[in-house]
Structure 1
Amino acid sequence: MTSQPLFSPRLFRASAALSMLLLAGCAVGPDFVKPDDRLANARLSSGTDNASLHELLAVNVPVQWWTLFNDPILTDLQDRAQVDNLGLKIASERIEQSRAQLGIASSQLHPSVGASASYSRNALSEHGRFAALGAPTNANDFWQLGFDASWEIDLWGRARRAREGAAAAFEATVYDREAAQVALSAEVARVYLQLRGTQAQLDITRQNQSVAERTLELTESREGNGVATRFEVSSSRAQVATIKAMIPELIQRRNTLMNALALLLGEEPRALDTQLLETMPLPSLPTRVPVGVPSELAHRRPDIQRAEAQLHAATAAIGVAKADFYPRVGLRGRVGVEAFEADELDSWDSRFFSVGPTVYLPIFQGGRLKQRLALNEARQKTAALSYRQTVLKAWHEVDNALDAWASQHNIHGNLFVSYEESKQALHAAERRYQEGAADYLRVLSAQRNVLASESRLNTSATNATLVLVNLYKSLGGGWSPDAFDTALQASVDSQPAVAVSSVVSPLKVAQ
């Protein structure tokens, strides 16, 4: 008996030629075009004439912008938050999910191969119609081993558009994590600076309490000597009680801020008390502030990059929906052996095979394909509007932050003058008291004025540092776009060129 090849060479060559022809097909649907963000026309200005704005430098925004405060504790907290924050870990897991979705979409471009094996034992009924026709009713075994292969040829670019959309969705997920990283770095700095400002305010309040208590003692002594009135004594006591009532509130705020930092670092409550409970001065403002140029804002802010990637994914989905209107062409093949006896499976005569093209043509879908296309087109328009809104919001945030920076410079400068003048007044009152030209109450009053000026100056300094934090958050500081883009592209390109699935079915036994 002459053996025959499993595949006909002529059929194989025809299938290969058909595959090359179909692979040359174009992808339907719109190609993604990077939208115009119009940020090239933006200007970094506060809208007010302020000499302090010459300190703004049009150089790259530093990745670790918090180092401008020159505070090692803040730097340590930032480093720990980038590693231990639970929100960032959740965002990282979402990236892995999106990466898996990209792998699934990429697998549609390649053939799939599966292996199967089956065994069954069958017998016909002795009283059945087949037995009446003379068919044997003895039980027999049936063995089958084989491989199945299928490949849907991407003639209209359906699989390519699906992979393009999955890659864009993967980018959006990664940018989402970077946006969370920017927000986290700003939040850690904001809470830390508020903590230092609260601790400074607590010290000032305690000094005020000491001054108020000395004033009360002196007023009570003057009342005993018939110089002061009962009204003055009651007013002094009320002042002491009012200041005392402020201290527990400040302590509660301090403890809440320390716990907030512990939460951002993924720590238990009170875990940072040992490190942060000691009062430290508020970090000083940097004298020169790098802010970059407006045209780079879209590249620096990950939320803008995320919105662009979401628009890209929505555009690719239109191509997938349009490709569903066209026929699907594929190749399917099967090869294996089958026999009634297991020892006959290695015989050449037990072979079987089938190979050939498959075509699926949608004829009537009840309007489902049209509505799916309309849905994806509407989603793309929504994504485009969302992108424009994100860019405009970023522009406004930067403008508002710059305006607040200029305003805080003015406020802080004037309050510093007020604080210095109050100290001069205190020195003058102390000299007059030493010379016998004034009583000690005037000295205490001058001390209260100094402490009140110092309190306002501390509040202004805290607000100024917080404004700088908001400025860098609006500028997208806290991550490195250049290094990240290279790593992101490498991650997308690292998808496997061939995706083969091997599915082995368990032996089936039917008696």
Structure 2
Amino acid sequence: MSIKLQSLLQNAGTAFCIISLCGCTIGPDFVKPHSEITKLQLPSRSDDIYNNHLLSVAKTPAEWWLVFNDKVLIELQSRAKLNNLDLQMAAERIEQSRAQLGITSSQLLPTIGSSASYSREALSQNGKFAALGAPTNASDFWQLGFDASWELDLWGRARRMREGATASFEATLYDREAAQIALSAEVAKTYLQLRGIQAQLAIAEQNLDIANRLVKMTESRERNGVSTRFETASALAQQASIKAMLPELMQQRHQLMNALALLMGKQPQALDKQLIQAMPIPELPQNIPVGMSSELAHQRPDIQRAEAKLHVATAAIGVAKADFYPRIGLRGRIGVEAFELDDLDSWDSRLFSVGPTVYLPIFQGGKLTQRLALNESRQKEAALAYRQTVLRAWHEVDNALDAWSAQHSHHAELMIAYQQNQAAFQAAERSYQQGVADYMTVLTAQRQLLAAQNQLNASSTNAALSVVNLYKALGGGWDVTTFHNSLVTS
């Protein structure tokens, strides 16, 4: 290559680089939403919970299920995080978004390619070139070269596209974290419901033992002429009613174990050996850390995802506006061509071309205008979706706090009712054995005790579930700090 040609190419490239770097960026810049809605405070009715030291403003733990102090639940959470298929699909969507970001970013860089061709050609002896005296003998023709093109991003079209792709990539990251929160909550809910059903099954079996004992007692009293057939029939009916509860409870138990197996990505009955043995419902923690209410917008990935989607829609406006402006590019080609293969390395076989290209949209039938209007409307919709997401988050947190407080008080009162019903049944049973009370008193006391046990068990389960719902509403289940550090490095 001659010094003159080399200097020409260098000067042209330098000039276009300066023009590109000085280019402006069309469209609105994204500004993080800082409306008053993100600064809302929880209603004052939750203050009593803080005053009673039931909740603390300590940072919401990432692994919030540790507050239950249940080793099986901790293990299930770890296995679900590794094996859940929904999480694995979310991870693949992240990789797809990462690849799309790379594709979009490549538009800011030049494209370079090489080409080579060979052909054997001959002109027609009766053609117009032969009439002009051109030789018609067959000959070889060789070509070898490099092509390059670069669209100068003078108006920021490619930069806005990369900006939108980056925000879209961030949205998929938050999608996965939202799926992680939902998964951890679902594992905990299913596990607690399983322990609740197992406790209810144990209550039914205990009451069946009592019913069996009463059946024997009434049958003995009837044989001795102390009681009537009515008492025996009533005892048998109560016995059958309790037995009828067992198959349905067993079915629910197996359904919940299978639901946990599905969350682990396992086949049905894969966890039966581990979970079939009944264990008590984990005790409620005495103090629950929920963090500061002002941190909610940073704790919930669905709010962060809505913000990222708003960013995507804002960047799309810039892309649509840049389409109204001309596109300027630079194309170049350098190579060699010759009729003989041995001549390709000759300096005289060189060829080159370099120059700008300009595309100016003149008439598009209103397509560009409508595309801009479409993206502006989508940006407004994304802003409304963000506002709705934040509002929904506050409602969920407020409802979860209210439900947790109500369940806490409800459980305490039911515990008193259960203790009193238990004392009443024991007194009725002793009176019946001593012959100072009829069987209806015992039957009524037993039914009330069974109902009280079931209510207390349901309350224990619901109280534990209210803790799960509270942490799900608060965005617990992912490490915010670690995630943001990884996001920066990505």
Task: Give your verdict on TM over 0.5.
Answer: yes
Secondary structure of 1:108's aligned partner: helix
Q: State the match for 1:294 in structure 2.
A: 293
Contact in 2 for aligned 1:327/1:362 (Cα 8 Å) = yes
Question: Of residues 26, 34, 37 in structure 2, which corresponds to 1:36?
Answer: 34
**In structure 1, C-alpha distance between the alignment counterparts of 2:142 and 2:52, rounded to whole Å:** 84
Match of 2:15 in 1: 17
- Secondary structure at the aligned position of 1:210 is classed as helix
Tell me the residue number matched to 1:452: 451
Residue of structure 2 equivalent to 1:88:
87
Aligned residue in 2 for 1:7:
5
Rounded to whole Å, the distance in 1 between the matches of 2:28 and 2:273 is 59
Deviations 1:363-411 (Å, cap 9, x if unpaired)?
Answer: 1111111111111111111111111111111111001000100110111
**Amino acid of the residue matched to residue 300 of structure 1?**
Q
Unmatched 5+ stretches in structure 1:
492-511
What's 1:164 paired with? 163
Q: State the shift of 1:294 in Å.
A: 1.3
- Superposed, 1:129-144 pairs within 5 Å as 129-144=128-143
- Cα distance in 2 for partners of 1:35, 1:294 equals 17
| Contact 2:231–2:439 under 8 Å retained in 1 | no
Structure 1 residue matching 2:282: 3-state secondary structure: coil
For 1:389-468, list aligned pairs within 5 A.
Answer: 389-429=388-428, 446=445, 448-468=447-467
User: Which residue of the partner structure matches residue 266 of structure 1?
Assistant: 265
Is 1:117 aligned to 2:119, yes or no?
Answer: no
Q: Following the alignment from structure 1 to structure 2, what is the Cα–Cα distance between the partners of residues 303 and 159?
A: 28
Distance 1:58 1:50, change over 3 A: closer
Q: SS where residue 280 of structure 1 aligns?
A: coil
Q: Secondary structure at the match of 1:146?
A: strand
Q: Distance in 2 between matches of 1:122 and 1:231?
A: 114
The 8 Å contact of residues 16 and 152 in structure 2, kept in 1 or not, is answered as no
Which structure 2 segments of 5+ residues have no match?
none
Counterpart AA for 1:32: F
1:257 paired with 2:256, answer: yes
Supply the distance in 2 between the matched residues of 1:321 and 1:412 (Cα, whole angstroms).
Answer: 59
Q: Are the aligned partners of 1:64 and 1:478 in contact in 2 as well (CA < 8 Å)?
A: yes
2:108 aligned counterpart, secondary structure: coil
Q: Structure 2-normalised TM-score?
A: 0.94
- 2:182 is aligned with 1:183: yes
The amino acid of 1:138's aligned partner reads: N
Query: 8 Å contact 1:200–1:458 — kept in the other structure?
Result: yes
Equivalent residues of 2:84, 2:264 under 8 A apart: yes
- CA–CA separation in structure 1 for the residues paired with 2:44 and 2:85: 37
Quote the offset at 1:464 in angstroms.
0.4
Give the SS at the match of 2:29: coil
Residues in 1 aligned to 2:217 and 2:444: alpha-carbon distance in whole angstroms: 12
- The answer to whether the 8 A contact 1:328-1:359 is kept is yes
Shift of 1:489: 1.6
Partner residue, 2:313? 314
Tell me the amino acid that sits aligned with residue 473 of structure 1.
K
Equivalences for 1:161-240 in 2 at 5 Å? 161-240=160-239
Amino acid at match of 2:207: N
Name the residue aligned to 1:483: 482
Q: Cα offset for 1:358?
A: 1.5
Q: Deviations over 1:266-316 (max 9, x none)?
A: 001100011000111110100000111111111000011001000000000
- The CA deviation at 1:435 is 7.1
* Deviation of 1:209 (Å): 1.6
Q: Distance in 2 between matches of 1:5 and 1:455?
A: 94
Instruction: Find the counterpart in structure 2 of residue 353 from structure 1.
Output: 352
Which moves more between the two structures, 396-405 or 236-245?
Answer: 236-245
Q: String of CA shifts for 1:47-69, please: whole Å, max 9, x gaps.
A: 69568853110111000000100
Distance 1:72 1:487, change over 3 A: same
Matched residue SS, 2:134: coil
Helix, strand or coil: the match of 2:291?
A: coil
State the Cα distance separating 1:423 from its structure 2 match. Answer: 3.1
User: Residue in 2 aligned with 1:506?
Assistant: none
How many residue pairs get matched? 489
Percent of residue pairs identical: 65
Moved more, 84-93 or 369-378: 369-378
Determine the structure 1 residue equivalent to 2:324: 325
Instruction: From the superposition, tell whether residues 169 and 155 of structure 1 become closer, same or farther in structure 2 (CA, over 3 Å).
Output: same
Q: 1:27 aligns with which of 25, 28, 51?
A: 25
Distance 1:191 1:292, change over 3 A: same
For residue 102 of structure 1, what is the aligned residue in structure 2? Answer: 101
Q: Deviations over 1:153-206 (max 9, x none)?
A: 111111110000000000001100000000000000000000000000001011
Measured after TM superposition, the shift of residue 440 of structure 1 is 8.0
Task: Show CA shifts across 1:309-329 (max 9, x none).
Answer: 000000000000100101111
How big is the shift at 1:441? 7.6
Deviation for aligned residue 1:39: 3.1
Whether the 8 Å contact between 1:172 and 1:309 is mirrored in structure 2 is yes
1:499 corresponds to which residue?
none
Q: Distance in 2 between matches of 1:415 and 1:10?
A: 90
Distance 2:224 2:434 in 1: 22
Q: CA deviation at 1:137?
A: 2.2
- For the 8 Å contact 1:44–1:293, the answer to whether it is kept is no
**Paired residue type of 2:397:** V
Partner of 2:378: 379
Per the alignment, residue 472 of structure 2 pairs with: 473
Whole-Å separation in 2 of the counterparts to 1:97 and 1:432: 74
Which stretch has the larger CA shift, 92-101 or 239-248?
239-248
1:44 and 1:402 in contact (8 A); partners too: no
Partner residue in 1 for 2:59:
60
The CA deviation string for residues 64-118 of structure 1, in whole angstroms up to 9 with x for no partner, is 0001000000000000000000000000000000000100111111111111111
Matching residue's letter, 2:146: F
Q: State the shift of 1:334 in Å.
A: 0.8
**What SS class does the counterpart of residue 114 from structure 2 fall into?**
strand
Change (3 A) 1:90 1:51: closer
Deviation at 1:442?
5.5
**Structure with higher RCO (Cα < 8 A, 6+ apart):** 1
Deviations 1:337-367 (A, max 9, x none): 1111111100000100111111111111111
> What SS does the aligned partner of 1:457 have?
helix
Q: Is the CA contact (8 Å cut-off) linking 1:29 and 1:320 kept in structure 2? A: yes
